[in-house]
Amino acid sequence: MTTQIAVLPGDGIGPEITEQAERVLNSLGLDLSLVHANVGGAAYDSHGHPLPPETLELAKSSAAVLFGAVGDWKYDNLVRELRPEQAILGLRKALGLFANLRPAILYPQLANASTLKPEIVSGLDILILRELTGDIYFGQPRGVRVLEDGPFAGQKQGFDTMHYAESEVRRIAHVAFQAAQKRNKKLCSVDKANVLETSQFWRDIMIDVASEYPDVTLSHMYVDNAAMQLVRAPKEFDVIVTGNLFGDILSDEAAMLTGSIGMLPSASLNASNQGLYEPSHGSAPDIAGQNKANPLAMILSAAMLLRYSLNHDAHATRVENAVRTVLEQGLRTADIYEEGTQLVGTSEMGDAVLKALN
Ligand code: IPM
Ligand code: MG
């Protein structure tokens, strides 16, 4: 049976890196149908909306979504509902993609790319698990209101709401414990329980779920301390689980530990393993269309797609090994280039991965 994949290249470097990932998927001899649709600024230009109904329908009816990147400065002045980022938030919500896996791996060949000392980061392999459909990102009410009383009476006030329902915390907790079971069995839950009610509640549920996973060691850390420990001793972590807002911030920090955000894939999964797969980096409009972008995060996202949504573990490993091979061969796009290596463009990197696969 043919498996349908929605391909949403988006803006900036999205289309050119997506093309390379598609070449990889098409070379595996699987019965896949890759169907394209517009998203983000590109969809605003063509359809007047960053997430047109036909794009959403395609995503919903597909086994997985391969997502490039969205955003460009030229859309910065649009009202919030029409900005490119709304496409990704809308897809997360509509598909119920509550579990966001963001691995931060430092490839030995790229040990010098990090801004931290090699002994701090060499061999780094951590997984950030970010809750993706709740928290202050989606909490209601939100908006701007006029205050009627209190010290700021008569003034306008911007406000958002942070909350987590019990089932929302439980389901991400289970994903986190199970991910830890497959790794080094260490789970660190990050919150701000010394200040926030939502965080104390989150922590209590984490502790409760822990009793079902006696083989996993659960620890807790406040988010400010976690931000510090991530640069002080990142290898102390194995799996980190945290809410939507803290996860947004910590996953960027963790990505930068590796020095090469151009290498990091991500997966966002729902309860039935339907997923959206995208590189952790953005749309980089400054280098778009110049054959300079690193396609490896996108190709590694396709590998995650094979593993998590299509259950093709062996193919996923093949693709990941091909990426390691091209790094060993010394091929580098500009973002990871260093002296003594060979500078290549987006499509040449794609060629090399295809060659390594076969
Ligand atoms: C991310 C991004 C998004 C987020 C933006 C683009 C809405 O920063 O995927 O981390 O905040 O979740
Ligand atoms: Mg972010």
E strands present in the chain: 3-10, 32-36, 64-69, 99-105, 125-131, 143-146, 156-159, 186-191, 217-222, 239-242, 265-269, 275-279, 331-332, 342-343
What band does 319 get if pLDDT is binned at 50, 70 and 90? very high
- 256 shares its domain with 276: no
- 321 shares its domain with 204: no
- 22 shares its domain with 153: no
The pTM of the full predicted model, rounded to 2 decimals, is: 0.93
- 119 located within any domain: yes
Residue nearest to atom 11 of ligand 1 (CA): 248
Which of these three, 260, 292, 316, is where a domain ends?
260
Predicted confidence (pLDDT) at residue 206 exceeds the cutoff of 90? yes
Predicted confidence (pLDDT) at residue 150 exceeds the cutoff of 90? yes
**DSSP helix/strand/coil, 274:** coil
- 325 located within any domain: yes
Q: Give per-residue pLDDT as tens, 18-50.
A: 999 999 999 999 999 999 999 999 999 999 999
- 255 shares its domain with 275: no
The pLDDT assigned to 7 comes to 98
**DSSP assignment of 41-84, as one string?**
HHHHHHHSSSS-HHHHHHHHTSSEEEEEE---GGGTTS-GGGST
Average pLDDT (205-226) is 98
The pLDDT assigned to 273 comes to 92
- 279 shares its domain with 328: yes
Predicted confidence (pLDDT) at residue 14 exceeds the cutoff of 90? yes
Angle (CA) 26 27 32, round 5°: 35
Q: What is the DSSP letter of 235?
A: G
- 112 shares its domain with 246: yes
Residue 132 Cα to ligand 1 middle (Å): 10
- 116 shares its domain with 256: yes
Residue nearest to atom 2 of ligand 1 (CA): 248
Average pLDDT (213-232) is 98
CATH value at residue 90:
3.40.718.10
Q: pLDDT averaged over the chain?
A: 96
Predicted confidence (pLDDT) at residue 178 exceeds the cutoff of 90? yes
- 199 located within any domain: yes
- 265 located within any domain: no
Measured CA to CA, the distance from residue 285 to residue 201 in angstroms comes to 40
Residue 230 Cα to ligand 2 middle (Å): 17
The angle that helices 313-328 and 346-357 make with each other, rounded to 10 degrees, is: 120
Q: Are 285 and 71 in contact (CB under 8 A)?
A: yes
Predicted confidence (pLDDT) at residue 249 exceeds the cutoff of 90? yes
Predicted confidence (pLDDT) at residue 291 exceeds the cutoff of 90? yes
Retrieve residue 39's tokens: 């998203």
Q: Could you tell me the residue range of the domain that residue 55 belongs to? A: 1-98+270-358
Which of these three, 260, 290, 323, is where a domain ends?
260
Domain count, the chain: 2
Ligand 2 is an ion; residues with CB less than 5 A from it: 248
- 194 shares its domain with 120: yes
* Residues catalogued as catalytic: 137, 192, 224, 248, 252
- 281 shares its domain with 254: no
Pocket of ligand 1 (CB under 6 A): 85, 88-89, 248
Residue 138: nearest ligand to its CA?
A: 1
- 222 shares its domain with 163: yes
The pLDDT assigned to 176 comes to 97
Instruction: Collect all residues with Cβ–Cβ distance below 8 Å to 107 and sequence separation of at least 6.
Output: 258, 260, 263, 324, 327
- For 349, phi then psi, to 5°, come to -65, -40
Which of these three, 241, 260, 279, is where a domain ends?
260
Residue 282 Cα to ligand 1 middle (Å): 9
Angle (CA) 38 352 256, round 5°: 65
- 295 shares its domain with 314: yes
